[in-house]
Amino acid sequence: MKGTERENIKVGTRVRIVQKQDQRSGKLTDGVVQKILTNSFNHPHGIKVMLENGVVGRVKEVLA
């Protein structure tokens, strides 16, 4: 699933995010959502979240 729609992402969901400093390289970071930071229903670049380890980035993939 894509990470551009807020309804696909819940606290506790496993996701792959891209951090701000990794946007050019496209390096993805795996983790579990602790907090959803984007208020809108969708975002073209991905919903911004904070992972359980404190890393912040935009969701590129939602893992099962």
Provide the CATH topology of domain 6-62.
Answer: SH3 type barrels. (2.30.30)
**pLDDT, tens only, 26-57:** 999 999 999 999 999 999 999 999 999 999 99
Query: H-helix or E-strand containing 49?
Result: strand 48-51
The span from the CA of 46 to the CA of 3, in Å, is 5
The span from the CA of 16 to the CA of 2, in Å, is 10
Domain boundaries, the chain: 6-62
59 pLDDT band (50/70/90 cuts)?
Answer: very high
pTM value is: 0.92
